[in-house]
Structure 1
Amino acid sequence: MASVLACIVALLCFKRSKASPTASPRACVELEVPVSIDTTAIKWLQPRVDSNVDAVDWVANATTWTSPNMTESMIGTITVRQTFKINGQLCVPPKGSKRSDILHLATHGGGFDKRYWDPEIKTKEYSYVEAALAEGYSVFTYDRIGTGKSDKPDAYDIVQLNVQREILRKLTSLARSGKLVSASKNLSGIRQTDNRLNNYKPSKIVHVGHSLGSILSIGLIQNYPTESDGVIATGFLHTNVQLGGLNVATWGFEFARQNNPILFKDHGSGYCVQATPSNVQLQFLKKGTFEPALLDYAWKVRQPVAVSEFKSLLTAFGPDGAKFKGPVHMVIGENDYGNCAGDCKGTYDLDMIKTQIYPAAKDVGVLIQPGTGHGLALSKNATAGYRVSFDFLHKSGL
């Protein structure tokens, strides 16, 4: 019954909607954040990728049923003590906004950088940043290592999910301390003009994710359940019986540097990228529910994925999710091809999620967003989905 209600709610929000009557004027600062971590990564048994031929071979190796499974592929451990340069953007709403002390810390998924949350075309219709600011929230988006303007370290031994999770944890800690701006290199020159940014210190942090970014946000609360006040996990669904459809063979990978030697000149061995716009469409969008301009945009801003990010997907999760006390909202496109083999209706058990995975959570909800693919922020009903998530948070006092 609960899952049916979720679908009904989604259907009511199918048409494109605005997050508020007027969009918020932006007050943002671009930062280069130094993030130091001390953790353990895994040495994986896998082919190297230094050409398009290698990329196809890597995909075949990863999907052949007789290839070593995840446990069998672990051949050692690696100590990672390193400081990474993380590019991020902090935005605050206008003065007097009643939720400005609540920070949405957003982590993008594979194939994108932080621009996923804030498309540079038709911003009012698609931007999560714009919608959250209009709702009165503050927002921090960032490029995960290996993407955008952040560091691009070794794709085999460093760019792994547990490393990315620890970076998210450190960013969370910096934000809570009020030192996110002061500890960073200011790339916008705005430090002297807006103390709301310079001295920003949130009272609550909501972790927002898309796809791989949702896995990192969920991994954070499952390993450190007191370090988040709430989660919006988009492109992700617990207990999904069709999750086997998430297969690297659907990405259409090529070696990033060979695909575009100029665009991906900073990406070395082991970084793969989608080969064509059609590959992007298959993975992220559903015919009839996206504008061609948004597919063009997704292709323009596409980002490589490190091979060990796929190998290490399960290493982000942890044993303490049952201790998390905040609200958890999962949003999945009805026609998410990678997650649900094209149809997410009836693929999950909300009661099980509530009683077995997050029994202490303040609230748990699922939104099946109608007629939408994996790239929810690039679909025509993007802002309708944001509206449902915001209302969900409001019920929990966020």
Structure 2
Amino acid sequence: MSGLTLLALAGLAAADYTASFGGAIPAGLCAPNTAGFTNPTIQPSRGGAAICVSGNVAVQASAQNVKFNFDLPKNESEVTNTFLELITQGSTFTQQIMGGMQMISGNYTIASTLCMPANGTMPSSVQLLTHGIGFDRYYWDFAPGYSYVDYAIEQGYATFSYDRLGVGQSSTPDPITTVQGPLEVSIANQLALMLRSSTFANANFTSVIGVGHSFGSAITQSVTHSHPSTFDAAILTGFSTNQSAIAPFLTSLNLEIASINQPYRFSTLNNGYLVSYSAISNQYGFFRAPNFSPLVLAAAEASKGSVTFGELFTQAAIAGVASNFTGPVAIVNGDADLPFCYGNCSYPMNKAEAAISMLYPAASANGTYLAPLTGHGLNLHYTALDAYKFIGSFLKQNRM
């Protein structure tokens, strides 16, 4: 595919991606309450099953982050060399930059979206949706036909999605010392507690289900480990305990300074904020042919999210055995997931089943599903709906 063709596809896809967002609320429907949000806006979900309120949410959070002896790279050459040092076998790079722990705390602006059924019903259960690296909150509501939000709403749940710290319209603090896994776990936990305490839209949710993708699954899993009573159930997508393919995953993304790669979107970010280099990089990391639309890949490239050095240095350090979590847990992966399965989630064993056995000894129920011929970006494949149906069935079977 030529560069001009790819740019044309990206433009068409980006236009289609945004066209169904921010439309008028259908006649006869009441707008949801905007309590808990600043600068709120009201819009339908991209498939139209939900009426959503979006805006900023203030979250006070603190965590023991890692102190890194690592200076902000001056240019792209230093960025590339950093990852070469990180992935080289026998390298002591990680040990060299580790400098102990330090407490990080603050008030952070988290851009968020709460969606309720368009039919006016008030769900008793809400799903807290945490996206992974390379995306923002709209991974969960990407386009008509590619919206987990629409599916969950149709099953009777509310959804709360958010841009993780450092991503999209959320706060973008120091990308090395602040935007790290431990603090993001604290933020996710605080958001779940706020949902329980009727902070948003005056909605009284009696149960909160944690749903994550990739790094968002690692964050969700860490909440079940460190705060076992926060979630009533957990759904982890694009996740396992296998870290052997992180090096080729990082290599395939060919990470570039975000402000250089897409200056029209990321000009205000410093050199600690990175994005995947190109649509080809995105395909390597997140897609598996022929099970996706080229327009969806182009849209994913046009709307890709940033990642920080702090996140990449801590993504493997936040998981832990959730010995005291007693709710139901399911892991749902594409069977050809690259970063967490090295392209084969069934070899030499079912890596989703192995992760549940290792991390959730006290779970009341567990389940796994491997979507066929599907890469890491599960929601952006033709097989997404079957994965959603498994999640819905699992939650209903366990009365969630």
Q: How would you bin the TM-score normalised by the shorter chain?
A: 0.7 to 0.9
Q: Secondary structure at the match of 2:235?
A: strand
Aligned residue number for residue 382 of structure 2: 380
Q: 1:74 aligns with which of 98, 114, 120?
A: 98
Aligned residue number for residue 234 of structure 1: 237
- What is the CA–CA distance in structure 1 between the aligned matches of 2:358 and 2:291, rounded to whole Å? 34
1:104-119 aligned at under 5 Å gives the runs: 104-119=127-142
- Asked if residue 144 in structure 1 is aligned to residue 167 in structure 2, the reply is no
Q: Secondary structure at the match of 1:131?
A: helix
Whether contact under 8 Å (1:107, 1:114) holds in the other structure is yes
Aligned residue number for residue 191 of structure 2: 171
Aligned residue number for residue 208 of structure 1: 211
- The CA deviation at 1:318 is 3.5
Q: Secondary structure at the match of 2:55?
A: strand
1:154-165 aligned at under 5 Å gives the runs: 154-165=174-185
Which deviations, in whole Å up to 9, do the C-alpha atoms of 1:247-296 show, x marking residues without a partner? 42221111111112221112212111111110001100011000011001
- The CA deviation at 1:243 is 4.7
- What is the CA–CA distance in structure 1 between the aligned matches of 2:86 and 2:182, rounded to whole Å? 20
- What is the CA–CA distance in structure 2 between the aligned matches of 1:246 and 1:389, rounded to whole Å? 29
Aligned residue number for residue 11 of structure 1: none
Output the amino acid matched with 1:34. Answer: A
- The CA deviation at 1:354 is 5.3
1:1-398 aligned at under 5 Å gives the runs: 25-46=49-70, 48-68=72-92, 70=94, 73-94=97-118, 97=121, 100-119=123-142, 121=143, 123=144, 125-179=145-199, 181=200, 198-238=201-241, 240=242, 242-243=244-245, 247-319=249-321, 321-346=322-347, 347-348=349-350, 353=355, 356-398=358-400
Whether contact under 8 Å (2:245, 2:338) holds in the other structure is no
Higher relative contact order (CA 8 A, sep 6+): 1
Aligned residue number for residue 187 of structure 1: none
Which deviations, in whole Å up to 9, do the C-alpha atoms of 1:296-347 show, x marking residues without a partner? 110011011101111111332235x011111111011111122222111133
- The CA deviation at 1:357 is 2.8
- What is the CA–CA distance in structure 2 between the aligned matches of 1:127 and 1:350, rounded to whole Å? 23
Whether contact under 8 Å (1:37, 1:81) holds in the other structure is yes
Change (3 A) 1:230 1:258: same
Output the amino acid matched with 1:234. Answer: T
Identity of matched residues, % = 29
Whether contact under 8 Å (2:249, 2:338) holds in the other structure is no
Which consecutive unaligned segments of at least 5 residues does structure 2 have? Answer: 1-46
Whether contact under 8 Å (1:131, 1:386) holds in the other structure is yes
TM-score norm. by structure 2 comes to 0.83
Output the amino acid matched with 2:62. Answer: D
- What is the CA–CA distance in structure 1 between the aligned matches of 2:360 and 2:281, rounded to whole Å? 35
- The CA deviation at 1:244 is 5.3
- What is the CA–CA distance in structure 2 between the aligned matches of 1:344 and 1:256, rounded to whole Å? 31
Output the amino acid matched with 1:310. Answer: L
Output the amino acid matched with 1:105. Answer: L
Which deviations, in whole Å up to 9, do the C-alpha atoms of 1:56-92 show, x marking residues without a partner? 1121121122332645532133221210000000011
Q: Secondary structure at the match of 1:393?
A: helix
Change (3 A) 1:49 1:316: same
- What is the CA–CA distance in structure 2 between the aligned matches of 1:333 and 1:153, rounded to whole Å? 32
Q: Secondary structure at the match of 1:340?
A: coil
Whether contact under 8 Å (1:336, 1:344) holds in the other structure is yes
- The CA deviation at 1:134 is 1.0
- The CA deviation at 1:25 is 3.4
TM-score norm. by structure 1 comes to 0.84
Q: Please, what is the CA RMSD of the aligned residues?
A: 2.0
Output the amino acid matched with 1:343. Answer: N
Which deviations, in whole Å up to 9, do the C-alpha atoms of 1:101-158 show, x marking residues without a partner? 1101000000110011111x3x1x1100111111111000000011110011101000
- The CA deviation at 1:242 is 4.9
- What is the CA–CA distance in structure 2 between the aligned matches of 1:378 and 1:356, rounded to whole Å? 28
- What is the CA–CA distance in structure 1 between the aligned matches of 2:354 and 2:282, rounded to whole Å? 33
- What is the CA–CA distance in structure 2 between the aligned matches of 1:359 and 1:228, rounded to whole Å? 16
Whether contact under 8 Å (1:250, 1:282) holds in the other structure is yes
Whether contact under 8 Å (2:240, 2:352) holds in the other structure is no
- What is the CA–CA distance in structure 1 between the aligned matches of 2:58 and 2:71, rounded to whole Å? 31
- What is the CA–CA distance in structure 1 between the aligned matches of 2:115 and 2:205, rounded to whole Å? 12
- What is the CA–CA distance in structure 2 between the aligned matches of 1:245 and 1:88, rounded to whole Å? 31
- What is the CA–CA distance in structure 1 between the aligned matches of 2:329 and 2:116, rounded to whole Å? 23
- The CA deviation at 1:383 is 1.0
Change (3 A) 1:251 1:356: closer
